[in-house]
Amino acid sequence: MNILLASTSTLFGGNYLEYIKSEIAELFTGIDEIVFIPFARPGGISHDEYTKVAKEFFAQLHIQVKGLHEFENQIAAVNEAKGFFTGGGNTFLLVKTLHEKNLMQTVKENVESGKPYLGTSAGSNIGGLNMKTTNDMPIVYPPSFECMGLVPFNINPHYLDPNPDLKHNGETRETRIKEFLTQNDTKVIGLREGNWIRRIGNRITVEGNEMTRIFEKDKEPYEIKSGTVL
């Protein structure tokens, strides 16, 4: 497998996918066309508008982008694609759409056969076992929370450390993930912005400039360095 799951598409003050451009070029080596999965629709943007954003970035890498929504037979489009990029937005909307169109399993099988896959934010969540560690609001009801399991754990993208200055009693991210672990045994990778997970064959590593926080049942959370094998 050949997979890159990034915490975010855009670093603060940066441009879309800029910080990870060379890694994306490497991921899609030898590929001139990919399918973009726009269903997470950040801020309710249309599928066409969202695909345009991806197209503009990939033009710099001389890779053509087609939006999956443009195809009449989307299952065939996935089976014929050379590679995939799923953008961020709302994970509930993304997962609902993929399940309703029977695309979750089809994309999974194609990626497991070796086609490169790029995910950012919600697009990374669906690379995990399930979407139960998303940060998103449940704006729609998906028929299932199960995802592709391209990696044998869950991801929490945009992982955010507690802010000691915040005079607010909503739960911290760490509290939420610990609540998840009271109900589930699945390991959770708290992926800070600027970090990503890379899978090449069976080797899975965390990459990027920040430390990565790992949450496991009945263990204190711990930090691992960039390059560590998961």
Report the interface residues with its own copies, using CB under 8 A.
8-13, 41-44, 89-90, 92-93, 131-141, 144-145, 158, 160, 167-171, 175-184, 193
- Beta-strand relationship, 188-192 and 212-215: antiparallel
In whole angstroms, the minimum distance from the beta carbon of 179 to its own copies comes to 5
In whole angstroms, the minimum distance from the beta carbon of 156 to its own copies comes to 8
DSSP 224: E
In whole angstroms, the minimum distance from the beta carbon of 227 to its own copies comes to 24
Residue 12 burial by Cβ neighbours in a 10 Å radius (0-12, 13-18, 19+)? exposed
Cα distance between residue 50 and residue 29, in whole Å: 24
Q: Which is nearer to its own copies, 13 or 30 (CB)?
A: 13
**113 is known as an active-site residue:** no
Q: Which of 9, 69, 124, 136 is catalytic?
A: 136
Cα distance between residue 177 and residue 201, in whole Å: 28
**99 is known as an active-site residue:** no
Q: Which of 62, 121, 144, 165 is catalytic?
A: 121
Question: From the CB of residue 220, how many other CB atoms can be counted at a distance below 10 Å?
Answer: 6
**48 is known as an active-site residue:** no
Q: Apex CA 57: angle with CA 213 and CA 189, to 5°? A: 10
Q: Which is nearer to its own copies, 77 or 191 (CB)?
A: 191
In whole angstroms, the minimum distance from the beta carbon of 168 to its own copies comes to 6
Q: Which of 47, 99, 158, 226 is catalytic?
A: 158
What is the per-residue DSSP string for 128-196? SSBSTT--S---S--S--B---SSSSEEEEEE----TT----SPPHHHHHHHHHHH----EEEEETTEE
Residue type, 3: I
Q: Which is nearer to its own copies, 35 or 94 (CB)?
A: 94
Q: Which is nearer to its own copies, 170 or 201 (CB)?
A: 170
In whole angstroms, the minimum distance from the beta carbon of 148 to its own copies comes to 17
Which residue, among 63, 85, 78, has the nearest Cα to 6 in the 3D structure?
Answer: 85
Q: Which is nearer to its own copies, 191 or 204 (CB)?
A: 191
Could you give the residue numbers annotated as active site?
121, 136, 158
